[in-house]
Structure 1
Amino acid sequence: MSYDEPSKEVSVYKIEGFSTVHHVKIIGYTLAKRFVDTFTEVGKFDLAGHTWAVQYCPNVKYVDSRKHDCIKLSLMLVTEPKVPMVVSCDFTLLSQHGTFPSKSKPLEEIFTKARHACGSNFMETSEFEYYEYSCLKNDSLLVQCSLQVVKPSCTEEPKKLNVVVPPPDLNHHLGCLLESKEGTDVTFHLNKEKFVAHKTVLAARSPVFRAQFFGSMMESKTDSVEIEEMKPKVFEAMLHFIYTETLPPQEDISFEMAQHLLVAADQYGLERLKAICAKLLCAGIDAKTAVTTLAFAVRHSCPQLKAFCVDFVASREMLDSFIASNEFENLVSSYPSVLKEILEKVKKMIV
């Protein structure tokens, strides 16, 4: 690590300096001198991220060999500091001839908490009231507060994240597990073909498989399951989806294949696969398949596919040919409620 190029993880200690000159006008000097003998806040200002206040006491008795009538000025930190601050403050009275040569010396103090105050030396009233250096104008005093604040700070530079988190790959690993056949504990027989799998994976993905393997059904006690009325290619695609959440990458999902997969998904409670197949059928529907697909959607409880088919069949281009087809009579006789939905859709289109 060079001096010019520090490491990304570095703590920085920095000293910051701030300064300002603030003026306070005190009106009614004579009256205050007679009746006020406590410190009064006469001005506020902000510096170094904090609020400061100037306090003024117009009637102070300074006792040495004799009593002196004096005034005293004080600086107070109003807000709470996070770190101690070294403060240098100089109060000066401004006369009609410029700066009054007062005997007040700059104060230096370390401010550590809110309401911390530090006063200046006494200023004898007999001196600044003297006509030659008179600081009084219309019974008012003009005070100049020169303030310097030194504030340390120790901060840690934010660490830049340089760790790249890879995308989830559980489906990849489960796919490899299915392909390797390691640890399989159940075999499915479809005609002359067989497929091996893992009961726990199938049960986690399908409520039907969960009931079969971990319920009271006969299959829970066996490692071999016969499946009828499903093509091996369909079962293989469903099995691939169960492990990977995707359809086989090299599988050409035809309209007919999508129908078979939807039936399998409905049978085993695979709702996401069912929705994917419904979307594929919506994309492939045409005049020849609209009616049969509508009946198919009703039979397998696919409301989105059913709604799409109703809209398709009720369109002006399809309605006449649909009514004249043999499928119309079959659909009406099997699912009379569908006809009502189609007619309501047509009515809305006419209106």
Structure 2
Amino acid sequence: MTIRARAGARVKECSGEFEVANFPVTCATTKTVSEGKQDCREIVSGPILVAKQYTFGIAVAWSVKPDGTVEESKNLGVHVKRLDDNPEECNISLEITILNRLKNFHMTLCDPTYHGISSQKARGWSRSFDMPDSRRHDGVKGLPLSDVFDHQAGWLHNGPLRVVAKLSVVVSFDSGVVSSNEASGQQEVCQSLQALLQSGSMADVALKVGSEEIQAHSIILGARSPVFERMFSCPMKEKKDKEVHIQDLEAAPVKALVKYLYTGVVDQTSLDNDNLALSLLEAAHRYEVPGLVERCVQVIVTRFKVETVAERLEMADMIGSKYFKAQCLEYIQAHLVDVQATDAYTRLVERRPALLRDIIEVVAPPSKKQRRLKGGASK
């Protein structure tokens, strides 16, 4: 009997929205101390983020003066708090978005690194947190409470403040030795589908990329990609001819895309450098395969360079990935002078001047007056 070893983390994603009604009044009347800091207050939702045995609430925090009145000059705080009583620590990565009435002004904060969190502890961006060197966290940089309270700035939705949180939570860790008789049925299906792809048996459609042709099965492509599904279910040329001519992509990323559609696996060679990963990302975006888009983005953001980050920002904006875009903007903010000196930045200014607004928003958030003027002009 064949024996195999299996190990790895199991991750569950969850998301939720917290709406704080009559936010200015809530700030003025709430007495709950945030993270033991007597000059900070917070309000926490119920357990709206659930990942198996772990539950989390979304929290909004703010500063108060010694007399207990709201300190409007200090930044707003947002974080998640673990609410379950499970004694085990779990690991999470986090994204929080503060919603603005004007979509272009949503503020997204990302921490893609997995950190441990124990019961009744919190992670995020609030002045009630301590930094590693014992300094206080600044909260949401560029978002003082005075701006939040200003109705014209767009952060209040006719009174309520709205915050969305997305968590990736490690819920278990597989380790040990198992027999081949206990092998996952899902893995067996993927192996069978990969063999079917490699053999070309019963293939009924050809993907033509340049001089190469990939034999495939329309029912599988259509089940995994909404774009292929539309091609083969509607009276389109591709359905009639059983051929799909793919332009502006090379054969290698298309082959990697097709393999992913059959098996859920992407070869590491397709992610080994930015050119390969970007080509695969473009293919995954074009054929609406979000799992593969996310896998490519996770790799690309770990290899940012001053010379090319402006190009990555263009790509992030094109595919509509908030996480990818936020990571680009964060890197540009930290290396602004060097980035501005690159050819990629010059091209971005010429081709996508609208993205300069996003860069400026991160580097130098607009004053309350500027936000009011922009808000009025957009209505």
Given the two structures, how large is their TM-score scaled by the length of structure 2?
A: 0.46
Q: Flag the structure with more relative contact order, 1 or 2, with Cα contacts below 8 A and sequence separation at least 6.
A: 2
Q: Which structure has the larger Rg over C-alpha atoms? A: 1
